[in-house]
Amino acid sequence: MNAYVQEKQPPGVPPLELTGERTLPDIPAENCWFRRHLAVYEWIGARVVGRRVIDLACGEGYGSEVLSRSATSVVGVDANPDAHEHARLRYRRQNLTFERGLVETYGETSSYDAVVFLQTIEHVQEPAAVLEHIHRILAPGGVAYVSTPNVLRLAPPGSARSGNPWHLREYRAAEFYRLCRSVFGGDRVEQLGVFHARKLRVHEVALALGWDTIHARLGITERFYERFTPAISSRDFALRPWRLDRALDFLAVCAA
């Protein structure tokens, strides 16, 4: 099996290939990135109990399925035909549907109690216009959850941006906060950060103390990470509202 193609998919479900455009489950080498995204979906899932939810740019569909465990209904929307077909075939719940559509326009004739739009605003040509669309399709009292990576953690030291070819714009904490406030209003946006926790925090400290040099010198790099990376769980990430310049990702919680 190709190291960048999903493993062990259910019968009849075509595996997806890792291209850098989205993260995927069922690829051992990708597990840290996947769990990092899953942690945010789980955090949101605990806050959309009994709500009507739309998950824009849902990709492979794993996050929509997480949301559907607590929401009244979830619509997962993605424009990519392969991702849509995979999600439709793999994740089946009575309250979960998948639709093909563009994040800029889907849902114009509907309203939702929660709009989820994770790790995608950095991919769009007109981010403010997309946020305005999200604001329009929120029901009164609804909440939008929008996330993006922190360019200070994503890009190499001293670089203005990462080399990800899918990213059109990458954000610092203050830039992302201003963007969301420009659409939802100054008192309607709360910004949180995603941080390492538990064993990933220990690993982060170890790296600062020279772990990279030690495992290379001992010749255990491959053996260590073959065990360490698959063992990472969503519990190894935490969301909190302070020291955002050090966050891995930002999550804006935007009230209608």
Instruction: State pLDDT tens for residues 112-151.
Output: 999 999 999 999 999 999 999 999 999 999 999 999 999 9
Asked if the structure places residue 173 within a domain, the reply is yes
User: Please, which residues have CB within 8 angstroms of residue 75's CB and are 6 or more apart in sequence?
Assistant: 53, 54, 55, 64, 97, 98, 99, 107, 112
CATH number of the domain bearing residue 63: 3.40.50.150
Instruction: Note whether residue 180 is domain-resident.
Output: yes
pTM for this prediction: 0.96
Burial of 22 (0-12, 13-18, 19+ CB in 10 A): buried
What beta strand segments (E) does the chain contain? 52-56, 73-78, 96-100, 112-117, 138-149, 189-196, 237-240, 249-255
Do the domain assignments include residue 42? yes
**Sheet with 112-117, side-by-side order of all strands:** 96-100, 73-78, 52-56, 112-117, 138-149, 249-255, 189-196, 237-240
Say if 12 falls within a structural domain.
Answer: no
Let me know: does 43 contact 243? Beta carbons within 8 Å.
Answer: no
Residue 38 lies in a domain: yes
Is the per-residue pLDDT at 19 higher than 60? Answer: yes
In a domain, 159, yes or no: yes
pLDDT at 161: 87
- Count up the domains in the chain and report the number: 1
Q: Is the pLDDT of residue 87 over 70?
A: yes
Q: What is the pLDDT of residues 161-208, one digit of tens each?
A: 898 899 999 999 999 999 999 999 989 999 999 999 999 999 999 999
- Please determine, for residue 1, whether its predicted confidence score (pLDDT) is greater than 80: no
Q: What is the mean pLDDT of the chain?
A: 96
**Domain residue limits at 40:** 28-195+242-255
pLDDT at 3: 74
pLDDT confidence tier of residue 41, bands split at 50, 70 and 90: very high
Within-domain flag for 13: no
Q: What are the phi and psi torsion angles at 26 (to 5°)?
A: 70, 25
Quick one: pLDDT at residue 211? 96
Inside any domain, residue 88: yes
Does an H or E element contain 216, and which? Answer: helix 211-218
Helices (H), 8-53: 31-45
Tell me: pLDDT of 222 over 90: yes
Phi/psi at 100 (5° precision): -90, 135
